[in-house]
């Protein structure tokens, strides 16, 4: 069958449905220039319809300004993060930083350059995950040594507390069929407009050890938090508790990911790699239209592998 070409009215309806604040004034073909009207920048011409439709706001000037703001915000966030890191860990340096839950590189006098998420680095005792791991191994070895009677007299009994999971450490449950993973009670993955917080407080919660092993997920790569918003309903209800595998950051079409956008929005959505430079953000709730953004503006935190919700 011959390919059906959409009329101007059909293309106009499609464009203005995707970008309700804008208007399509002139259109000939997808790969030819068109004219649009943006409420912020007025009448804009000289851009192909294909390139305009792929922008986040339906206006190339709006998109350009967004990334300028994102660049300046990124520089400010690095300065703020570096100040906080060096105040807490004198002698160590923060070399690179993406966002609070994304990867960063810290410089440790003992281990050199170490890569970890900034949240995990800040949550360690020494600012270096490898330092924390080595100290944990030493502590376990010292506990495994038989104590003499003189040792018992001078050694205090350690308190029985459950520590939240941090990078390089593993909290154990008294029941071997479960493993404790960190729950960020004050963190919200938005199924809507987006919300980010930098609260470090975690609470350990149990997940099935067998289920994690079946999925091939290491407990040290798990983070749990709640969903806020209704754009992922009915799969993820507002307030649903979700588990994120932070080691799985490669986008596969149809999978659901937690991610941070360039402007700091922390979200959970279905992601599709439209092409090497663009990502489509899809909401399961049909009331929310798809968004297309530059791949460079998205930092994936991890993939959704588990959820607990009420229906």
pLDDT at 166 over 70: no
Instruction: Give the pLDDT confidence of 97-148 residue by residue, as tens digits.
Output: 877 767 788 888 888 888 888 877 787 777 887 876 666 555 545 544 555 5
User: What's the pLDDT tens digit per position in 40-70?
Assistant: 899 999 888 888 887 778 888 887 777 666 5
Cis ω on the peptide bond leading into residue 234 (within 30° of 0)?
yes
Domains of the chain (ranges, CATH numbers) = 8-53 (no CATH), 178-308 (2.10.109.10)
- What's the rounded Cα separation, in Å, for the pair 259 and 300? 4
Give, as one character, the DSSP assignment of residue 296: G
Report d(CA 62, CA 115) in Å as an integer: 34
Contact call for residues 236 and 288 (beta carbons, < 8 A): no
State the pLDDT at residue 172: 46
SS (H, E, C) 39-76: CCCEEEEEEEHHHHHCCCCCCHHHHHHHHHHHHHHHHH
For the chain, where are the alpha helices, taking DSSP H only? 8-18, 49-53, 60-88, 118-123, 129-144, 149-154, 209-215
Least confident of 51-55, 153-157, 234-238, 295-299: 153-157
Nearest one of 232, 221, 210, 220 to 287, comparing CA atoms: 232
187 band by pLDDT with thresholds 50, 70 and 90: confident
Give me the chain's average pLDDT, please: 78
* Whole-number CA gyration radius for the chain: 24
Q: What is the Cα–Cα distance from 92 to 108, expressed in whole angstroms?
A: 5
Q: Write down the pLDDT at residue 26.
A: 92
Q: Residue 151: is its pLDDT beyond 80? A: no
| Global pTM exceeds 0.75 | no
Give me the mean pLDDT over the 145-155 stretch: 46
| pLDDT score of 88 more than 70 | yes
Residues 6+ apart with CB under 8 A from 63: 55, 56, 57
Residue 304 has pLDDT above 50, yes or no: yes
pLDDT tens digits, 222-239: 989 888 888 888 888 888
Look at residue 155 in the predicted model and tell me its pLDDT.
Answer: 40
Three-state DSSP class for residue 289: coil
Answer yes or no: are the C-beta atoms of 24 and 10 closer than 8 Å.
no
Structure tokens at 253: 């079409």
Tell me the C-alpha distance between 298 and 186, whole Å: 22
**Assigned token pair, 192:** 């809507």
Answer with the residue of higher pLDDT: 87 or 134.
87
Confidence at residue 251, expressed as pLDDT on a 0 to 100 scale: 92
| Confidence class for position 254, pLDDT limits 50, 70, 90 | confident
The proportion of the chain whose per-residue pLDDT surpasses 70, expressed as a percent, equals 77
């Amino acid at each position: 069958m011959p390919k059906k070409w959409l009329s101007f009215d059909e293309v106009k309806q499609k464009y203005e449905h995707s970008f309700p604040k804008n208007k399509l004034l002139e259109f000939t073909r997808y790969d030819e220039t068109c004219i649009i009207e943006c409420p912020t920048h007025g009448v804009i011409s000289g851009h192909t319809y294909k390139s305009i439709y792929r922008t986040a706001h339906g206006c190339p000037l709006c998109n350009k300004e967004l990334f300028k703001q994102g660049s300046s915000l990124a520089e400010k966030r690095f300065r703020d993060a570096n100040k906080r890191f060096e105040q807490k860990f004198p002698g160590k340096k923060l070399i690179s930083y993406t966002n609070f839950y994304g990867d960063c590189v810290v410089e440790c006098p003992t281990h050199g350059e170490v890569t970890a998420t900034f949240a995990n680095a800040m949550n360690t005792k020494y600012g270096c995950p490898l330092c924390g791991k080595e100290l944990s191994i030493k502590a376990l070895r010292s506990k495994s040594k038989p104590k003499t009677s003189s040792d018992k007299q001078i050694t205090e009994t350690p308190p029985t507390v459950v520590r939240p999971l941090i990078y390089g450490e593993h909290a154990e449950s008294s029941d071997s069929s479960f493993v404790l993973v960190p729950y960020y009670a004050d963190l919200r993955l938005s199924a809507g407009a987006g919300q980010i917080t930098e609260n470090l407080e975690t609470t350990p919660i149990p997940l099935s050890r067998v289920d994690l092993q079946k999925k091939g997920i290491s407990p040290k790569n798990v983070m749990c938090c709640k969903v806020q918003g209704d754009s992922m309903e009915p799969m993820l209800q507002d307030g649903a508790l979700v588990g994120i595998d932070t080691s799985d950051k490669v986008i596969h079409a149809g999978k659901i990911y937690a991610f941070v956008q360039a402007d700091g929005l922390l979200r959970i959505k279905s992601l599709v790699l439209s092409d090497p430079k663009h990502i489509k953000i899809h909401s399961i709730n049909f009331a929310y239209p798809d968004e297309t953004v530059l791949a460079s503006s998205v930092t994936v935190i991890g993939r959704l592998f588990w959820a607990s919700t009420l229906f």
